Structure 1
Amino acid sequence: MSGTPQRLSRSHHGAVHVPRTPARAGILHLGLGSFHRAHQAVYTAAAVAADGGDWGIVGVASRSRTVVDAMRAQDLLSSVATISPEGMSLSIPGVHTDAFVAADEPQRVVESIADPGIRIVTLTVTENGYSSSPATGHLDTADPTIVSDLRGGQSRSTIGQLARGIQRRAAASGAPLTVLSCDNLAANGARTKALVREFLEALPATEAAEALAFLESSVSFPSSMVDRIVPSTTPALRSEVSSLLGVWDEIPVPAEPFTMWAIEDDFAAGRPAWEAGGAVFSTEVGRYEDMKVRLLNGTHSLIAYLGALQNAETIPDAVGRPATERAARAVLAHEYTPSIQVPSGVDIAEYERQLFLRWGNTALGHKTSQVGTDGSVKLRQRIPEPALRLLDRGEMPHMIALTVAAYLSCIAPRPGFDPGPFAAAMKDAARERLIPLARAARTGADLAEASITDLRLFGADLANRPAFIERVGELVDTIGRDGVSAAITESVTAAETDMRSRASEVPA
């Protein structure tokens, strides 16, 4: 594109159809990032096209003004680029009716939740956005933002904003509301409700009584499982998409062809016909959650950390290496897949085959540094239950131990070990706490014990499993001394040996 590019707009939208935006908003979405625009917005556009309804979306970014400013300059439009090795296709959902930044207008978030015209609040604020204690899973009442929110004034935490908005809604219209978490938390609906309730219960009883009663009678919190790989936007993608559109889109979203959304059908005030976009309404959302969080996300994390330690910039590059693919297949076969109940109608062998096709999508270019970011929070959702399942049976989860060892080696390498540039590019809130521990550790076991037991990085249960912690420490030492390939070989061999031993003990 030459000269000053014309911006994407409703009057000049180039070659891709822009659907009519709903007249009014019925959804408030917290977390206006790429995933939301490539997932919930796409499903909502399909729902409105099929069944109509006032289901426009008011998008709220947590802090960044980049997306909000761009959307406002583009008539609240952005494109989704679906990318596969076969090529790229473009769509423009066009369902947003407004956008703003929560950090700039925190009270507006509360007022929007209280607005009776808003019937659903959806969330993609990441696992970090729920203000829960890593050790207990309960509301972190020592978090300075939660402390401030409980004192009154402008609420700035997501949980505080939800609680204060529900409090105001109860006192004003009393209109029913649905809060729908779309983050990778086990039982995310029940978890969100519990955290909101804990916030309200921390207020003076006279201040919270009406809101607590309203929470129980008129606010539903269905659980959901979301799945679509959405890498970061690059300048090259921005230019390619804009050339195909014929107009400039500052914020196109790249996404893989695969998409899935499983939802509990428990909506207090109606919902869009999301099934028109392929959403599945199910009583087995917990099974979908476990399948996705462990098989996709848990293995994805392992691939990212092993890949970064092998100087692989992208997930396709990482999983394309035989040793990493062998590790990924081993953790699936021996540790993650046996830990789940497969949802009805899902062919698990086909699902796993699709996983490797998705990870191997070279056109998508998903970076190991992006997938490996925030591992201290992500792994806490992914590894404890399947690890504990084996430990309780007297078996060692070698591949999950390798995941933790590779994570620690990326985020807090011991002195003398260089994990490489892609590990260094990973962002993690725990890095500042872990690095001094790594510097002080004489062995991998010291680092493992300090992070897993003392910091309780992965919760209280794993903190009290010395055999697991010892195994993680051994693998940290192997990575530092012999390299990540040696650690992969050691872990996979041990996992396969244990599996054969168990099989030989089964009576014929």
Structure 2
Amino acid sequence: MATPILPPLSAETPGILRRSVAPAPGIVHLGFGNFHRAHQAVYTEAAIASRGGDWGIIGVSSRSSAITDAMHAQDMLYTVVEISPEGSKFSTPRVHTDAFVAAQEPQRVVAVIGAETTRIVSLTVTENGYTYSPATGSLNVSDPDVQHDLANGAAPRTPIGQIVRGLQQRARTHGKPVTVLSCDNLADNGHHTQRLVREFASLLPAGEAAEALQWIDANVTFPSSMVDRIVPATTDRYRSLVAEQLGYADQIPVPAEPFTMWILEDDFIAGRPAWEAGGAIFTDDVAGYEQLKVRLLNGTHSLIAYLGALSGAATIPDAAGIDYIEAAARRVLRDEYLPSVTVPGAVDVDAYEEQLFLRWRNSALGHRTSQVGSDGSVKLRQRIPIPALEMLDAGAMPHYLALTVAAYLSCIAPLRGFDPGNHANAMQDPARGTLQDLAERSSSGRDLAAKVLGEHHLLGDELATRESFVRRTGELIDIIHRQGPLAAANAAAESTSLLPAQTRSIR
């Protein structure tokens, strides 16, 4: 049954979303996509409703104007469609004051970050948006856009460049402090963002760099956070649902699962909304929750997506409903990811696991395997190396982590003659071209794994030295190509976890 929780429609323009008063801006959000609109915006709506405050959000899209154009046409409103097998619930956050596209108005990005009214700059730009080198974790100074931003202060292209140039404007004008809040799936995302901002600032001309760094260190905080909510892409299905149930046209409704979580470090130098009114948790142990999310949830989610795509499953619920995929997902979660996680005391691991599988089985949501499997070259580097290395150092082979990598490479860079299917082919990945070139020059799965992991260092320098893991990944690629993903999962299940003593520490 549909449960609308909406402002009244305007009598002058029936069937169109309208509001009477917009909140005053206090937040600039970079990465104005579906996730932000179904997550941070919802918490901010609850915060303002509970305790007030000038916390309106200016949304900044990177390149596409699809959402910003629709937001302006709809008086900065949209519908969040909460989807579950029991029915749908609807809400309309009323927190956005403006929206624009950074690529079209780069100077304006600097201006709004530098504005005296801005107290928080938040980000959901994906891991790839931070323009850092996965191999080192440092700013990728060879990136053409980073080089452009270092040379051109007025019209930066990258989020890190935009932030630094905006902070410089604050320092030169009113000098008021501000918080930079990363909401992306990066390990220790607050400190990681701070490091990239400082690295960028340090590369400015000497006098300019010293001034910027001194001001940033004294006037900017970078709290860490962990966000969690499954938010699929907008489709005509959700547009039609809103029109049928609520009687108005919304071009950009956001579908989302009922579950939502936000864990934050409470380090906001210029104040913050009362996000706890929406259920946000403030704690000193963000890292523990982050490990749960990045490894148990995201890592397992990746395996489900890649095995599912290779098995012809269009959605995560379809994939999670396949017996062998569920079994593999439970094994990688319990046996290989969990031992590497320091679980927060408030978390019941058994209940957390069952909750994850309930979320993944939400057939009403229909999260696509191609969406979850995209950008694996960046995501897997955040998820796999630490638990894999810990197991290898203990003398055990992480077969299911190797299976995750093998399934990923089979989707993104299959060997000649192997078709991974439409869902795998629809996955987007910044390294697809490079990996496909390596696959073209590989004679087998073992050869491909050696090139990608051992020579290209896709998962980092340390794991590249572990010949046993590289070899096992290659073996599983060959099984996928010759016998299919089910056979590869069975091979992982049947294998012994102990490594021969002489191969326990290959460096």
**What is the TM-score with the length of structure 2 in the denominator?**
0.94
Residues 19-38 of structure 1 correspond to what in structure 2 (within 5 A)?
22-38=22-38
Separation in 2, partners of 1:11, 1:335? 58
Corresponding residue for residue 364 of structure 1: 365
Query: Match of 1:93?
Result: 93
Matched ranges for 1:379-390 at <5 A: 379-390=380-391
Q: CA deviation at 1:454?
A: 2.1
Task: Describe the shift of the 1:498–1:466 C-alpha distance in structure 2 as closer, same or farther (beyond 3 A).
Answer: closer
Shift of 1:19: 7.7
The aligned counterpart of 2:187 is 186
Please give the secondary structure, in 1, of the residue aligned with 2:232. coil
What amino acid maps onto 2:117 in structure 1? G
Partner of 1:498, secondary structure, is coil
Question: Does residue 104 of structure 1 match 2:104?
Answer: yes
Answer yes or no: is the 8 Å Cα contact 1:18–1:93 preserved in 2. no
Q: Aligned partner of 1:252: which letter?
A: P
- For 2:446, the equivalent position in structure 1 comes to 445
Contact 2:23 2:95 in 1 (8 A): no
Shift of the alpha carbon at 1:498? 2.7
Deviations, residues 82-110 of structure 1 (Å, cap 9, x unaligned): 00000100000110000000010111111
Structure 2 residue 269 is the aligned partner of structure 1 residue 268: yes
Cα 1:259/1:228, change in 2 over 3 Å? same
State the Cα distance separating 1:453 from its structure 2 match. Answer: 2.3
Separation in 2 of the partners of 1:394 and 1:218? 47
Distance in structure 2 (CA, Å) of the matches to 1:138 and 1:227: 26
Over 3 Å counting, the alpha-carbon distance change for 1:107 and 1:282 in structure 2 is: same
Alpha-carbon distance in structure 2 between the residues aligned to 1:498 and 1:20: 63
Q: CA RMSD in A?
A: 1.9
Are the counterparts in 2 of residues 136 and 460 from structure 1 also a CA contact under 8 Å?
no
* Cα deviation code 1:419-465 (max 9, x no counterpart): 01100000111110011111110111111111112222122221221
Contact 2:59/2:96 (CA < 8 Å) preserved in 1?
A: yes
Query: Retained in 2: the 8 A contact 1:13–1:245?
Result: no
Task: Judge which range, 365-374 or 18-27, deviates more.
Answer: 18-27
Query: What is the Cα deviation at residue 17 of structure 1?
Result: 10
| Aligned 1:285-364 pairs, distance under 5 A | 285-364=286-365
Q: Which runs of 5+ in 2 are unaligned?
A: 1-7, 501-507
Go from structure 1 to structure 2 and tell me whether the alpha carbon gap of 1:245 and 1:12 turns closer, same or farther (over 3 Å shift). Answer: farther
How big is the shift at 1:113?
A: 1.0
Contact 1:16 1:92 in 2 (8 A): no
Shift of 1:215: 1.1
Is the contact made by 2:16 and 2:248 (CA closer than 8 Å) also made in structure 1? no
**Hey, what does 1:426 align to over in structure 2?**
427
Q: Distance in 2 between matches of 1:366 and 1:279?
A: 24
For 1:37, the aligned partner's letter is: R
Structure 1 Cα separation of the partners of residues 213 and 439 of structure 2: 45
Structure 1, 419-428 or 442-451: larger mean CA deviation: 442-451
What CA distance in whole angstroms lies between the structure 2 residues aligned with 1:299 and 1:269?
Answer: 37
Q: Secondary structure at the match of 1:239?
A: helix
Tell me how far apart the structure 2 counterparts of residues 104 and 17 of structure 1 sit (CA, whole Å).
Answer: 26
SS in 1 for 2:207: helix
Tell me the residue number matched to 1:402.
Answer: 403
**1:10, CA displacement in angstroms?**
5.7
Give aligned pairs, total.
493
> Would the aligned equivalents of 1:13 and 1:247 in 2 still touch at CA under 8 Å?
no
Structure 1 residue matching 2:497: 3-state secondary structure: helix
Larger CA deviation: 422-431 vs 232-241: 232-241
Tell me the TM-score normalised to structure 1 length.
Answer: 0.94
- State the partner residue of 2:142: 142
Deviation at 1:493, TM superposition (A): 2.3
Gaps of 5+ in 1: 1-7, 502-508
Counterpart Cα distance in 1 of 2:117 and 2:179:
12
**Which residue is 2:115 aligned to?**
115
Which 10-residue stretch deviates more, 450-459 or 419-428? 450-459
2:316·2:368 contact (CA, 8 Å) conserved in 1? yes
Larger displacement relative to structure 2 (221-230 or 206-215): 206-215
Inter-CA distance 60–11: structure 2 relative to 1 (3 Å threshold): farther
Tell me what 2:503 maps to.
none
Q: In structure 2, what is the Cα distance between the partners aligned to 1:84 and 1:253?
A: 14
Question: Could you tell me whether the CA contact under 8 Å between 2:10 and 2:17 is conserved in 1?
Answer: no
Identity %: 60
Measure, in 2, the Cα distance between the counterparts of 1:471 and 1:200: 43
2:67 is matched with 67
Question: What residue is the counterpart of 1:157 in the other structure?
Answer: 158
One-letter amino acid of the structure 2 residue matched with residue 383 of structure 1:
I
How far apart are the structure 2 equivalents of 1:422 and 1:78? 29
Aligned-pair distance for 1:20?
6.9
- 1:45 and 2:45 are equivalent in the alignment: yes
- Structure 2 equivalent of residue 213 of structure 1: 214
Separation in 2 of the partners of 1:256 and 1:161?
32
Tell me the SS of whatever aligns to 1:82: strand
Pairwise CA distance, 1:344? 2.4
- C-alpha distance in structure 2 between counterparts of 1:12 and 1:261, whole Å: 38
Q: Is the 8 A contact 2:445 2:476 kept in 1?
A: yes
Specify the alignment match of 2:504 in structure 1: none
Closer, same or farther in 2 for the Cα pair 1:248/1:178, shift >3 Å? Answer: same
1:128–1:456 distance in 2 versus 1, CA, 3 Å: same
Which residue of structure 2 lines up, in the alignment, with residue 506 of structure 1?
none
Q: CA deviation at 1:347?
A: 1.1
Aligned equivalent of 2:4: none
Whole-Å separation in 2 of the counterparts to 1:16 and 1:389: 55
